[in-house]
Amino acid sequence: MCGRYVSASPPDELARYFGTKAPAAELEQSFNVAPTNEVYTVRFDAGARSLTAMTWGLVPFWAKDRKVGSRMINARSETAAEKPAFRRAFGWRRCLIPADGFFEWAKIPGEKRKQPYFIHRDDDERLVFAGLWERWTPKDAEGEYLEEETLETCTILTTSANATIAPVHDRMPVLLAPGRWDDWLNPDTDPASLRPLLQPAPEGLLVLRPVTTMVNSVRNKGPELVVEATAEQLIGVPSDVVTP
C-alpha cells in the first residue's frame, strides 16, 4: 500500500511540469502527506489537463458518510475495475497524483517497532502515481443534495512490489511515465487498454533510504523526515534491503 508520501513541490512548478494552469488555492508543503489531507491531482477538464486539489481517500458517490474515505486511500489495480467503490472511477474518472517520494515500514526480526524508509527515484525526479477520483455530495435530513458541500476525493492505485520494494512491503504505487499520462487521463480511453500500465516500476528506478521514526507522527511535516537516519537512529535494516 501507500499510506504516506511527500508533496513538497510548489503548485507553479507542478503546473509547468504537467502543462497546466496553477490552481486557485495553494496547499501547504508537506513531507508527510497522510490520509484525508488535501493533495494535488491532475485530471482532464474539457479535454485538457487540470491541476486540482482533492481529499486523499476516495468517497464513492453512493456513500452515506464521507468517513468511509479514510479506508479507501489505496485501490488494488488488479480489482479496481470490478469493485463497487472504484469501478465507476476506473471507467472514466482517472487522475495523476504527483509525489516526491513515499514511505514504507519494514518489519525487523525481534522488534515490535518498524524501520521507516523514504522511497524515491534514483535521479530524484518526480513520481507520478496512477489515481482515481470521485465526486460526492451529502444529503440533508429530507434527502435533498447539499450541492455546496460537494467533495472531490482520490485514491492511489497499487500493484505488486518489484524486487527493490519487496523486502520492505509486498505492494507499491502504480507509477506512470509521461508518455502514458494522457491515455490514463482521457475518459474516452477504453479502460481495458490501460491494464498493461498497471505494473510494478522497473528495477533500478527507485532507491530506499532509511529515515527516523519521526515520520510515524502525522504532526511532523518538515524536510528532516527524508534525511537518512544515522546508525544510532536505526531500528534495523533487513539484510535483503539495498540502500544507496
- The pLDDT of residue 70 is 94
pLDDT at 148 over 90: no
The gap between the terminal CA atoms of the chain, to the nearest Å, is 23
The candidate with the shortest Cα–Cα distance to 77, out of 87, 66, 92, 62, is 87
Please confirm, yes or no, whether 13 is among the known catalytic residues: no
- The pLDDT of residue 63 is 93
- The pLDDT of residue 40 is 98
Whole-prediction pTM: 0.95
Q: Phi/psi zone of residue 79: left (φ > 0), alpha (ψ -120 to 50 degrees), beta?
A: alpha
Report H helices in 55-95.
87-92
pLDDT at 238 over 90: no
117 contacts 208 by C-beta, under 8 angstroms? yes
pLDDT at 143 over 80: no
Catalytic-role residue among 2, 134, 152, 154: 2
Tell how far CA 174 is from the center of its chain.
9
5-104+122-203 CATH pick, 3.90.1680.10, 3.30.2270.10, 3.90.1150.10, 3.40.30.10: 3.90.1680.10
Catalytic-role residue among 26, 28, 104, 152: 104
Which tens digits make up the pLDDT trace of 179-211? 999 999 999 999 999 999 999 999 999 999 999
Mean pLDDT, the chain, whole residue set: 94
Measured between alpha carbons, how far is 235 from 228 in angstroms, rounded to an integer? Answer: 13
Half-sphere exposure of 23 (CA within 13 A, CB side): 21
As given in the structure block, the three cell numbers for residue 89 are: 472511477
Q: Kindly report which listed range (111-115, 123-127, 144-148, 225-229) carries the lowest average pLDDT score.
A: 144-148
- Furthest-apart CA pair in the chain: how many Å? 60
pLDDT at 242 over 70: no
pLDDT band at 109 (very low <50, low <70, confident <90, very high): confident
Tell how far CA 182 is from the center of its chain.
18
Other CB atoms closer than 10 Å to residue 140's CB: what's the count?
9
Measured between alpha carbons, how far is 85 from 154 in angstroms, rounded to an integer? Answer: 12
51 contacts 40 by C-beta, under 8 angstroms? yes
Strands (E) located in 137-243: 151-160, 171-173, 206-210
Count, residues in the chain: 244
- Looking at the DSSP bridge assignments, the partners of residue 230 are none
- The pLDDT of residue 147 is 84
Which tens digits make up the pLDDT trace of 21-80? 988 889 999 999 999 999 999 999 988 999 999 999 999 999 998 999 999 999 999 999
**Type of residue found at 137:** T
Q: Average pLDDT, stretch 149-153?
A: 94
Please confirm, yes or no, whether 228 is among the known catalytic residues: no
- The pLDDT of residue 244 is 66
- The pLDDT of residue 236 is 80
